[in-house]
Structure 1
Amino acid sequence: MDLADEGEQFDPTYPIGVDRRWHGGCHIASRSQNEAVRAVADGEVVAYRVCQHLDGPDGAVKDSDLGFVLLRHETETGENCKLRFYSLYMHLRHLGGYGGNCNPKDLPEWLRMPSGIESGDGKKVSRKDVLGWIGQCNGRMYLHFEIFMTRADFEAYFSGTQLGRANPSTPASTDYWGDSYYVIPAGLPILAQPSGTVKDKLNGIEFPPLKGTTATARKLYIEVKFRSGQKLTRVWRDDGEGQRTLLTATPILEADYEYSMYARACALYPACPSDGYELLRFGRILSRPETLPAGNRATWFRVAFDQDKQGYVDIHNAGIQKLSDADFPSFMGWEKVSEGAGPFARDGLCDIDLLKNLLKDKNPGHNPYAGSSANKAMRYYVQMGEGVREKLRGMVCEMPSEWDGSNKEARYQKLKEPGEGDLAGFQRFMAFVGKAQFWDKTGLPSTTTEKLWFFHPLAFIRHFRKCGWLSEHEFEQIFPTTYTQKSGGKVTSAANALPAKLREKYRPILNRFIRKHLLAQSSKRIAHFLGQGAEESRTLTWMDERRSESSCNTLYGGKLGNDLPGDGYRFRGRGMKQLTGKYNYAEFWVYKGWIFRTSFSQSWWSRPKSVRPAIAEPDRLIHDDALTIETAAWYWEATPNSGGPHLRSTINATVDAAPVDEKSVRTVTVTINGGHNGLENRIHHTMRIYLIVGDGPK
């Protein structure tokens, strides 16, 4: 994504063309002229064209590629949150221009021969599939890239978000992903230390004294990011009239906060660390049912309330709005713009003064073209104005498609006005535009009567990549119907097949806990977590250890806290990661708030007369589908030492510090398994899954 951003061209930009008309996409150049263009997601082909030669206006130089692929994508961003969008790849290179590493064998067969404008007819592509190579337009090498949604699809998805709402509120939905945002109203207390702090500690957790106590004079906007173990907080003060002041030139950094979040939750919320972890992660409890008592939910976050002044605020306070990237909050730059209701007039031309007003730009600076050329003035402002391009990335715009021939005359009628050019040139231009347009082959409604909603495509991808929700197709690749394993250096198919119904039962649950425990922060974390789970559970088909009672008692008796006869079988391996032993069961029961740590003796297994933990119904770990998965996510976060209550560093810390390779899988395997049992297979699954969820090519 960084390379794509580097290659983005700014003449024209999104959503304003060089002639001040709507421009629904961005232009991306490449360091290499033989750069492959790949599908951004699994999708269905709507329409395409493969050109044999360059094209251009009649009687002019043939210097433009008119090959394209239009894809429709359907996916999810959460439970019952379906997203349908379209991606367009325009100016794909003509077949006669292939050279270097442009190998037609890398393309789907239907893109290897020249064609006219063709309908997709049900053709499918997968994420990362090669669609062609960057071509040219008007002699310049670049890809024109768009992402848009139809009106019906847009309203179906975004009506449940905060997009376009000047005063967002905490959503009722539990669809919470990406980074967190909090709106703190004026007048809320900010303290030098949390209430109840003794000697700079609250329940053993350090809260160093800061510069409170005060009350917020103005509304504050808080952004919280978790990155590689760190917690990063930025704060803006609302100065009215759409103006904000950043109070944290350098984000507030709390090192290793994420890696220690489980221990923090256990200390601050002993009545139910699971709910407490969600308060620290989301600012509210999303799981149902809630266990933590209402009076024990204070959640102290470190924030800035003025330049160089910080204090602690209770984020759980009901007056604070709690949002995430799933909500598209306006104060983070998301803005809805419709033709005729903003800077774009009904004729599709953008007015520079109205644009400045929309961007709340009070000091746009000197523009050398003001009063002379409207087009040049707009281009100068967009390219040179401070922060303008970044603000334009957040615009979600309702406009017609430039590829729809039914609005061609209305779109370009201004070109016939005096001073815009000669009639013959206009006619040649319009004929060439007609060659490029293809909308009538898509089966989509005319955008003259039903406009589309466009996004800056790179901003769209960056944003939704934070989601981390694995789709049905991705999940089928990760846990295929036919189980494969590796033994003796060979990959073979095993007998235990995974029914699609069983896979779908666990998919939303796994997605929820991947989000909760910040595994979605990186594809490395997801690959390791699911790779280990694939071996432990035989790809979700083995959630209960398949050993006899006598063999479990022989294998586990006297170990892992199993100090009574029959404990080996009673606390045998259950769940996706095969949680094993009374000690681990007791730790999970404490985490869920089902028993209190004070209700049993520490090291009970070595003290005959001590009080043991009362663990009722251990089989609930396989009878409750959510618990079957949650035990795996909990163990990944907590990594309890089987010899006692000491907690090792989290697995996420190990994964973040290393590439996905055999060495890192070996290290994680020891933490999960206590040894190297099934190591070859764990390596096989982890590397296989990383190819699916990772960032690199297939």
Structure 2
Amino acid sequence: MYGTSPIACVADGKVVYVRAPTEKSDDPSHPLNYAMSTDSNASWTDDGCVVIEHEAELGKDTTIRFWSVYMHLSSVTVSSGKEIIRKEIVGSGGVIAGARAIHFEIFTDQGGLDKLIKRGDKAYRVFRAGDNSGDPDLWGDMHFLLPAGTALFDKTQAQASVKYKQWRKRKAAFEKGEDIRILGVARGSVTSDAATRRRRAFPEPEPEGQNQVGTLDKSLWLTVHFAKGHCHTNTYSEDGVLLGSAVFPGKPYEFEMPKIANLLAPNNQSPTYELLRYGRIVGEDALPAGVGNWQCIASPSDEIAYVDLNVPSVVKLSDADFPRFLGWQRIHDGEAGTRLTSDGRCCAKAVLNLLDVNQPSDITEDDALSRLRNPALRKKMRRLVCEFRTEWDAAHFDSTYQFLLRDSASGESPSRAAMTHEQYVAFKAHANALQWWFDAALDIAPTLWHFHPIEFINWMRKCGWIDKSTLARIYKVTPEATRERYRTALNQVMQKYVITNPIRQSHFLGQGAVESLSLKVMQEASNKFASRRSEAELGHWYGSTTDESDRYYCSEKFNGLGKRIKISYSWIGGNVGDIDAQKFRGRGFKQLTGRANYADYWVYRGWLRRSEFDARWWDDDGYRKRDVAQMRRRPASINYPERLIATPYNCIDSGGFYIAFKRSKVKAEIDRGSGVHPNAKSDVNIGMSISRRVTYAINGGYNDDEKRYTLTVHALGLIN
């Protein structure tokens, strides 16, 4: 890694070792003045070093430890024992043999790797046999192994249903027109020669349902990736060769998922939405039988086809499984290949075969270097997780490097002359000056699992799980107990509604900070103390007893200037009178308000059926007259509105539901942003404009718009 820029920490952690850089010396015998080869001059190498221990959360039940190492620093700005946050500067880059560069590595121990890649050395691991699914702490892209014999269809279940419903609607309109025409003939009002009392048949044939268009002749992997509303799929062979790509046709699929969920299971939308999002159910709501998860796939004929992923024979994984077919592979220490060595040189067949694949004999150094420049090979190498003894342990130097005192063996490439004793001593002195393992005393075995650091960082950023320390900085005014009560639910809900990148998460958390006072208020309160008490403590919804009647909710509110700032809730939002104004007050992360919104969420979760009330009861003449006795349409009956905040998940999920199902334009507005923390005035203006549009899309107005923008930018700076 090159450059003299300040070097930043890659994740929150604790500094466990620091070595200040040695002052540069002109003494040619100094161990840090070393010639890297016999035909080069001795040049200085900086030895500043920082080692940081990290604890990363990747889900409700997945926490791992890993370490990052920053070597060849020309200055160090942290001290051992310091708690450090992501992007905090640890020092400045230095030189290696006179060239500007640093060494950067990431490793974990055996326990950390087993928690991270839980499948071990298998291609995949099934955690739940009922639906053949992988790691339950899922994140990132979704991956599906389609067995040979999987049927391909010309349309999805939803597309077929929509076409049929549209046909039924046109047919009903035609038949109604026929009824009117025939009645006109009977009454003599229609007298044209074409008029007849004989009913004409609807001319359009009934649309076909789903038609099978093919079958997979071999097993394939299908990857599903969401980006700015669109759903992208890639098809791979079992060994990871990309065979085709597709984008779900029509409107952005992610933004259509609420409509599809409502179409497929109108009384069980929440689990159906999860099915469309993850390919499996992860929450507590049950999925009704017969609901399919149809995704587009580039068929062998390069045409778009559709396949149902909700069948038990389909294996269902996510990026959390570090899929083997995408190149993630564990390479064990001492894994024997055709070249056996007893030192630290690589002898793993899985690695060596990448370099000399299809070669009849040992390849030359030039051939190997040429292979290493191949982009496809480099991509494969970046996803090998390799176990070997750290090279920074001086105690094992001789057993690792004594082979340098011998000429290269016959057939060994590249050929190499033995080091002289003096050369070996100089090399050892240089290496010992850089080694730090003994001094760091990390209390873990020196045989470690090493990742390509940039690939590791890029992959882990797909997780999007907000850890304890990050949420503490986002909601710094909120008590820790309150933050931790809701943190798991916040993460689960953001994953569910594809709020997984920094720009979406910052808006979700920034807007929610205003609505819920940074998680501190999950029920709209009046000036009465009792309204602030948790309804879980009360054991009922506030206002269900006569002594708790609170006029705040059914009265208009005015500020000190006499300007009305809030209207009565009594006859808006589907509320039926004063009692409803209090019963259906704002609750949850987004302060869901009104009987109509509550009814929609109750139906969404499967707690209420559409058939149990009449649609748009607020359009009833009796409702408009504010007379319950005259109402003919039945309002939704909800006896326990406090259920909305009975659990942390319900609190937060109601907010995710509101954005995805009730305010479908919100995420599209958010996606207009760059995701980069604004610095220039032009960036601030653009960011403020987007935040205002998001605020309007959520609330239908611009209340607290500047505060919402400030809190959103604050969150973005900590997440991005």
TM-score range, shorter chain: 0.7 to 0.9
The 3 A distance-change label for structure 1 pair 284 and 581 is same
Shift of 1:200: 7.0
Equivalent in the alignment of 2:123: 166
Given the alignment of the two structures, is residue 321 of structure 1 paired with residue 315 of structure 2, yes or no? yes
Equivalent in the alignment of 2:618: 605
Inter-partner Cα distance in structure 2 for 1:183 and 1:263 = 27
Match of 2:290 among 288, 296, 302: 296
Letter in 2 for 1:325: D
Inter-partner Cα distance in structure 1 for 2:320 and 2:509 = 24
Match of 1:516 among 496, 506, 524: 496
Match of 1:460 among 440, 451, 456: 456
Aligned-partner SS, 1:685 = helix
Equivalent in the alignment of 2:425: 427
Shift of 1:396: 0.7
Equivalent in the alignment of 1:380: 370
Inter-partner Cα distance in structure 2 for 1:501 and 1:198 = 49
Given the alignment of the two structures, is residue 91 of structure 1 paired with residue 92 of structure 2, yes or no? no
Equivalent in the alignment of 1:149: 108
Alignment of 1:461-610 (within 5 A): 461-480=457-476, 483=477, 498-520=478-500, 522-547=501-526, 549-554=550-555, 555-607=568-620, 608=622, 609-610=632-633
Show CA shifts across 1:580-633 (max 9, x none): 111211111121122223433222102131122122311111222211111111
Given the alignment of the two structures, is residue 38 of structure 1 paired with residue 17 of structure 2, yes or no? no
Shift of 1:417: 0.7
Inter-partner Cα distance in structure 1 for 2:453 and 2:250 = 33
Match of 1:403 among 392, 412, 419: 392
Given the alignment of the two structures, is residue 348 of structure 1 paired with residue 341 of structure 2, yes or no? no
Inter-partner Cα distance in structure 1 for 2:158 and 2:579 = 44
Letter in 1 for 2:513: A
Equivalent in the alignment of 1:190: 152
The 3 A distance-change label for structure 1 pair 249 and 677 is closer
Equivalent in the alignment of 2:543: none
Inter-partner Cα distance in structure 2 for 1:614 and 1:162 = 48
Aligned-partner SS, 1:287 = coil
Inter-partner Cα distance in structure 1 for 2:93 and 2:163 = 58
Inter-partner Cα distance in structure 2 for 1:208 and 1:44 = 63
The 3 A distance-change label for structure 1 pair 196 and 452 is closer
Aligned-partner SS, 2:471 = helix
* 8 A contact 1:136–1:142 mirrored in 2: yes
Equivalent in the alignment of 2:712: 686
TM-score by length of 1: 0.80
Residues 47-56 or 424-433, more deviating:
47-56
Structure 1 residues not aligned, in runs of 5+: 1-27, 96-106, 111-119, 484-497, 641-648
* 8 A contact 2:160–2:209 mirrored in 1: no
Inter-partner Cα distance in structure 1 for 2:702 and 2:381 = 52
Match of 2:439 among 424, 438, 441: 441
Larger Rg: 2
Shift of 1:76: 0.9
Residues 423-432 or 605-614, more deviating:
605-614
* 8 A contact 1:42–1:125 mirrored in 2: yes
Shift of 1:371: 5.4
Inter-partner Cα distance in structure 1 for 2:452 and 2:249 = 30
* 8 A contact 1:247–1:305 mirrored in 2: no
Equivalent in the alignment of 1:213: 213
Inter-partner Cα distance in structure 1 for 2:60 and 2:444 = 32
Letter in 2 for 1:502: T
The 3 A distance-change label for structure 1 pair 406 and 52 is closer
Given the alignment of the two structures, is residue 130 of structure 1 paired with residue 65 of structure 2, yes or no? no
The 3 A distance-change label for structure 1 pair 193 and 263 is closer
Equivalent in the alignment of 2:49: 68
Given the alignment of the two structures, is residue 669 of structure 1 paired with residue 698 of structure 2, yes or no? no
Inter-partner Cα distance in structure 2 for 1:232 and 1:164 = 29
Letter in 1 for 2:517: R
Inter-partner Cα distance in structure 2 for 1:527 and 1:550 = 36
Equivalent in the alignment of 1:332: 326
* 8 A contact 1:136–1:143 mirrored in 2: yes
Shift of 1:351: 5.1
Shift of 1:429: 0.8
Amino-acid identity (%): 32
Letter in 1 for 2:424: F
Shift of 1:304: 2.7
* 8 A contact 2:586–2:593 mirrored in 1: yes
Aligned-partner SS, 1:657 = coil
Given the alignment of the two structures, is residue 656 of structure 1 paired with residue 645 of structure 2, yes or no? no
* 8 A contact 2:296–2:306 mirrored in 1: yes
Shift of 1:651: 1.0
The 3 A distance-change label for structure 1 pair 360 and 404 is closer
Higher helix content, 1 or 2: 2
Measured on the aligned residues, the alpha-carbon RMSD in Å equals: 2.7
* 8 A contact 2:31–2:433 mirrored in 1: no
Inter-partner Cα distance in structure 1 for 2:254 and 2:388 = 42
* 8 A contact 2:8–2:86 mirrored in 1: yes
Inter-partner Cα distance in structure 1 for 2:593 and 2:674 = 29
* 8 A contact 1:292–1:593 mirrored in 2: no
Aligned-partner SS, 1:259 = helix
Equivalent in the alignment of 2:59: 78
Show CA shifts across 1:390-423 (max 9, x none): 0001101110111111111122111111213322
Show CA shifts across 1:197-226 (max 9, x none): 648737679x99999522221001011100
The 3 A distance-change label for structure 1 pair 656 and 59 is closer
Match of 2:275 among 279, 285, 288: 279
Equivalent in the alignment of 1:103: none
Aligned-partner SS, 2:641 = coil
Shift of 1:329: 1.4
Shift of 1:671: 2.6
Aligned length: 599
Inter-partner Cα distance in structure 1 for 2:705 and 2:333 = 59
* 8 A contact 1:150–1:453 mirrored in 2: yes
* 8 A contact 1:395–1:455 mirrored in 2: yes
Show CA shifts across 1:556-578 (max 9, x none): 12211223342211111011111
Show CA shifts across 1:405-447 (max 9, x none): 1111122111111213322111101110000001011223575
The 3 A distance-change label for structure 1 pair 361 and 284 is farther
* 8 A contact 2:294–2:309 mirrored in 1: yes
The 3 A distance-change label for structure 1 pair 423 and 466 is same
Inter-partner Cα distance in structure 1 for 2:458 and 2:210 = 35
* 8 A contact 1:48–1:68 mirrored in 2: yes
Shift of 1:253: 6.3
Aligned-partner SS, 1:247 = strand
Inter-partner Cα distance in structure 2 for 1:210 and 1:135 = 64
Given the alignment of the two structures, is residue 57 of structure 1 paired with residue 31 of structure 2, yes or no? yes
The 3 A distance-change label for structure 1 pair 59 and 213 is closer
Aligned-partner SS, 1:93 = strand
Equivalent in the alignment of 1:616: 639
TM-score by length of 2: 0.78
* 8 A contact 1:181–1:324 mirrored in 2: yes
The 3 A distance-change label for structure 1 pair 140 and 610 is same
Aligned-partner SS, 1:134 = strand
